[in-house]
Amino acid sequence: MCTKLYQLTRGVLLTALWLGKLVPALAQLVTTQPSFPTADREVTIIIDLKQAKDGRAAGLLGKKDDVYLWSGAGRTETGNAFEFGPTGQTNFNAPYAPGTMTSLGNDKWQIKIVPRTYYNVPVGTPIRRLGLVVKNGAGTAQTEDFFTPIYDAKLTVSFARPTAKFLLVEPNTSVSVRANVSDKATLTLRVNGVTSASATNADSLVASVPTGTATNTIRKVVVSAQTATETAADSFLLYVKPTPTIAALPAGLKDGINYSASDPTSATLVLYAPKKTFVLVLSEQNDWTPDPASLMNKTPDGDRYWLALTGLRSGQELAFQYLVDGQIPTGDPYSDKILDRNNDSFLTATYAGLKAFPTKAQGQIVSVLQTGQTAYPWKVSNFTRPDAKNMVVYELLVRDFIASRQYKNVGDSLPYLKKLGINAIEIMPIMEFSGNDSWGYNPIYYFAPDKAYGSKNDLKAFIDKCHENGIAVILDMVLNQADYEFPYVKMYWDGTKPSTDSPYFNPTATHPFSVFFDFNHESPATQALVQRINQYWLQEYKMDGFRFDLSKGFTQKSNPNNVDAWGAYDASRVAIWKRIYDQIRTYDKSAYVILEHFADNTEEKELANYGMLFWGNHNYNYRYAARGVVNGRDDNFDWISYKLRGWNNPNVLGYMESHDEERMVFDLVQNGVSAGTYNTKDVATALERAKLAAALFIPVPGPKLIWQFGELGYDLGINACSDGNYNNDCRTAAKPIRWQYTADANRAKLLRVYQELIKLKLSQPAFQTTDYTFIANQPVKRLVLNNATQPVVIIGNFDVQANAVVLDLPKTGTWYDYFTGQSVNATASTALTMQPGQWHILTTTKLPTPEANIVPWNLVPPAPVVLATEPLFGLTVSPNPTTDVAVLDWESAYRGPVTVSVNSVSGRTQQTLTVQKTAQTLRQSVSLKALPAGMYFLNVQTTDGAQVRKVLKE
C-alpha cells in the first residue's frame, strides 16, 4: 500500500534532519489548523502536493478532483501510524469517499476530521500521530507516507524553528529559535542546562542560540513552558560540524559492507561519496546518535569514507545507516537487506522473523549487516543453461502469479511449468523497490531482494529448484532508472531532481520514456556500479542472465521529446552495450544478455551479431491477425523472423504477449472480427484463435517468450484492477490470479496445444533449422521448416471465412497431420478448403499423436473445385498454361451478366470483371499479365450457376 518517506527539511545554517517525532509543518508538505491538534476536536489537515517527493505524486498535480486521503492513527509517537483506520477504508485501488479532499487551488488540498471519531479510536486510548497518504481514486498516483502529531488536550510547547530534532551547525555561529505554546505561559530556553532566554505570559519565544567553538560536540537545547497548573517541554540537539580523519582505504576493501573472514565480531563499511564533507554511521551500537566514534575516515582523494565496526555479535543482525554531511540519512547502496519504516509492518505473513524497524533511526530506510552468516547450501552447482537460440522463456510477476506472493510458492509451481515445457523463467524485477506492491521498475536497493516476496535464501532456493528442473532463471534488470530512496539519488539531490554534481544521474533524462531518475551510463561511477550489480546477481544468486529494461535509454545523446530520433542508430549507445556485454563475459561466458531495445534495426543487428538477444514485440500484429483482420499489414508478424531482419543469429526473443502488452484473448473478446456466424469475439472461438496464433508463433526458429497464463488464455486486460473492474490507472495494479483456468475444458486444450508445440520445438530437428520460409502477410499464413529427413509445414487460416488452399508441400508423397494423425498423399496441386481458424502441422514422418480433440479440425480430402451450384456447361479456357492472357469461351442460350473473378490459391480475389452475354457465344479475354506466376482459379458466375476453372500462369 505505502511507499516512500521523503523528509527534506531545511534548517538555518545547514539542512536539518529529523530524529524522532515529526513537527506540524514538515517542509510545508502538511500543516494543520490548529497548530496543536488534539484527538477529540476538529482539525483541518492541509496538504501541499508540490512538496511531495514520491515520483508518483506527479500524477496528482493539476487535478481538480479525484484526490483522496488514505490515512490512519497510531497510539505512539514512533510506532505504527496506521494502527486505527476509518470505516470502509479497505481497497487502496478504489476511491474512498470519506477521504475526499477539497481543493484550495495551486495543488493544495484540505480535509476536516475529528481524529477519534474518524479513525474509530476507543475513548481512553491516546492518539499520538496520524499516518497520511494522498492518492487518486485508483491508487496509481500517490504521495509518500507522511505523518502529523496529535497532542494531548493540555499545555504543549514545541519548537517551530528549527523543525528538526537534531541540527548540524558550524562552530562560532548561532541558531535562530522559535518555540510556540498552546496557551500563554512562562517560557524558558536552556542550553545544556544554562538559561539562555525567557518570556512571561507569552504564546511564543524567539531567541538566538550560540553554537560554541568546539567541533564534533553536541549541545542540548530545551524549552519549557509553565502556567499556574501545568508544565511542558520540548528539545532538540545541536551538533557542531566535525572534521573527518584522512586515512587511506585498507587494502582489499570494496564499496559496501566488508566482512572479515577471520573475525566475526567486526565489519568495515565503505561508502563512495565524492564531493561530500563528512559521513557518520548511526546504528544500534550508538543508539542512533552521532558521537566522535561514529565519524567515518576520509580517503586522501576525498571520494570514499570508511569505518571499522567492532564488538559485533556473530550471526546477529545490526541495523545501521549513513548520515551524509549531517543531513542525508540513507542506507548502504550495496546492502543485501534493508528495513523499511513504512512498509515492513505489512510483511509479517511473508517474511518470518523480520527484524523490527528501529524507531530512533532517521528517514525511511536502514541497512542490515550480519557477520558469521551461513552460506546457502546450493544443490546444483553445475547447471547447464539451455541453448539461447532454442529457449522458451516464461515471464512472470511473483505478485500476480501466486496468491501468497512468495518466492518459495513460485517454486511449488515448477511441476506445472516443467510440464508446459518451458526451459527458462524470466522474473520481473525483484530487487528492493519502493513499497510492497509494484511491477518492480522503481528500484531503490540493487543488491537486496525485495522482502515483499520473502528472504534472500527463499530466492536462492527457488533458483536452485529451477536448476534442478532444468530451468534457467533470467532476472529483469532495471538499470536505466532508480527511485528516490536509492542512496545515490538521495545523496545528490537539489530538492526536485538529481543535482548537477551527481556521479550517477542526469538531472534531466536524455529520452522521452524516463520514469523516476535517469542514470548517466557514460559516467565511470555508473559503469562501476553496473558491473558490480551484474556480477553480484550472476555469482551470488546464480542467475543465468538478464533482460535489461529500457536498454535504449542507455545513452547520453539527448532526445527528450523525439521518440524517432531516440531510436535512431546511436554509436555511443552501441559502445555502452558492448562494454557491458564484454564485462559480463569476463566472469560469465554464457549468461544471457537480453535487451528491451526497440531501436533502429541497424543498431539491433550490430548488437545481435555481437551476441546479445533482443525482446521482439509482435503483440500488435499477432492480436490483429488473431482477431481476423486481413490486410497484409496489421496482421503481418513476419518481423519475428531474424532472417527477415538480416541478422546472422536467431537472437530475436519474440513474444505475442508480455507484462507490458495487451492480453490476446481479452483483445479478441473485445475487438474480434466476424463473418456470418463465425465471430472471434466468442470466448470459445477466441481460445481456438489463440491456438492458431501459437501454432505460427512458437515454431518460428529462435527463442520465444510466453507471458504468464497466456497458455491458458488469460482474458482480463492489462488495465484490469485487482477486483476485476477496469481503469486506465490500474495498468500496473495487482491482477486477479486465474489458476482455476486449468479446470476449464477449452482452456485446458489450449494449454495442451502449447505443451505440444513446445515439445516439437525442443525435440524435432526441423524446428532448429536455419533454412525456412515464412509467409505471414497473407490471410493463410505458412511456415516451412526445411530439413533433409523431416521437413515440417505449418499452415493456418487467419481469415474469418473459408479459403481454398493449395498445400504446396516441399515434396510429394505422404504427409501427416501432427494433431490428428491423419495422412494425405500430396501432389504439387493438392488443395484443401480451410475453415476460418483452421491450422495444421504437417510432417513427412508420423510422430506420436497427442490425445484426440485438442483441435477441432480434420485433414480432409481436397475439396472439389466446382462450386455447389448448377454447373455451366460448354465453358473452356485456353491456352492453359498461359504466359499472359487466358481466353474464356462459352456457348449457351444464357443471356445476361457474367462475372469473372481471378482467385489465388489462398482464396483471395485478385481481380474481377463483369460483362454482358448478348449472343449464343461469349468470348472474353482475361489478362493475367499483372499477376505473378502460379496457379489461379477462374470463377465464372451467372444467375443460372457457376463454375471454376484452374489456370496456370507460367
* The pLDDT value given to residue 829: 74
CB 410 within 8 A of CB 395: no
Average predicted confidence (pLDDT) for the chain: 91
Beta bridge partners of 46: 31, 110
For residue 874, pLDDT over 60 is answered with: yes
The stretch 440-447 carries a mean pLDDT of 97
* The pLDDT value given to residue 906: 62
CA distance 276 to 523: 18
The stretch 898-903 carries a mean pLDDT of 82
Q: How many Cβ atoms from other residues are within 10 Å of residue 494's Cβ?
A: 11
Confidence of residue 872 (pLDDT cuts 50, 70, 90): low
The stretch 706-719 carries a mean pLDDT of 96
Least confident of 180-184, 698-702, 721-725: 721-725
**Which cell goes with 501?**
554534481
The stretch 184-188 carries a mean pLDDT of 96
> Which SS3 state, helix, strand or coil, does residue 534 take?
helix
For residue 27, pLDDT over 50 is answered with: no
CA atoms within 13 A on the CB side of 612: 27
Owner of C-alpha cell 553445475: 382
For residue 340, pLDDT over 90 is answered with: yes
Confidence of residue 252 (pLDDT cuts 50, 70, 90): very high
For residue 445, pLDDT over 90 is answered with: yes
> Which SS3 state, helix, strand or coil, does residue 947 take?
strand
Phi first, then psi, for residue 644 (nearest 5°) are -60, -35
**Which cell goes with 773?**
520460409
Confidence of residue 833 (pLDDT cuts 50, 70, 90): confident
* The pLDDT value given to residue 526: 98
Phi first, then psi, for residue 124 (nearest 5°) are 95, -15
For residue 836, pLDDT over 50 is answered with: yes
Tell which wins on pLDDT, 943 or 344. Answer: 344
CA distance 596 to 505: 21
* The pLDDT value given to residue 217: 82
* The pLDDT value given to residue 907: 65
* The pLDDT value given to residue 837: 96
Confidence of residue 163 (pLDDT cuts 50, 70, 90): confident
The proportion of the chain whose per-residue pLDDT surpasses 90, expressed as a percent, equals 75
For residue 24, pLDDT over 90 is answered with: no
The stretch 416-442 carries a mean pLDDT of 96
DSSP state of 663: -
The stretch 276-305 carries a mean pLDDT of 95
Amino acid letter, residue 453: Y
Confidence of residue 14 (pLDDT cuts 50, 70, 90): very low
> Which SS3 state, helix, strand or coil, does residue 875 take?
strand
For residue 864, pLDDT over 50 is answered with: no
The proportion of the chain whose per-residue pLDDT surpasses 70, expressed as a percent, equals 95
Least confident of 74-83, 104-113, 865-874: 865-874
Count of residues for the chain? 954
* The pLDDT value given to residue 1: 33
* The pLDDT value given to residue 908: 67
* The pLDDT value given to residue 934: 85
For residue 515, pLDDT over 90 is answered with: no
Least confident of 144-153, 450-459, 721-730: 721-730
* The pLDDT value given to residue 7: 25
Q: Which helix (H) or strand (E) holds 623?
A: helix 619-627
Concatenate the DSSP letters of all residues of 78-137 into one string.
SS-TTSB--TT---TTS--GGGB-EEEETTEEEEEE-HHHHTTPPTT----EEEEEEE-T
For residue 832, pLDDT over 90 is answered with: no
Per residue in 770-816, pLDDT tens? Answer: 999 999 999 999 999 999 889 999 999 999 998 888 888 999 999 99
CB 499 within 8 A of CB 15: no
Per residue in 261-288, pLDDT tens? Answer: 999 999 999 999 999 999 999 999 999 9
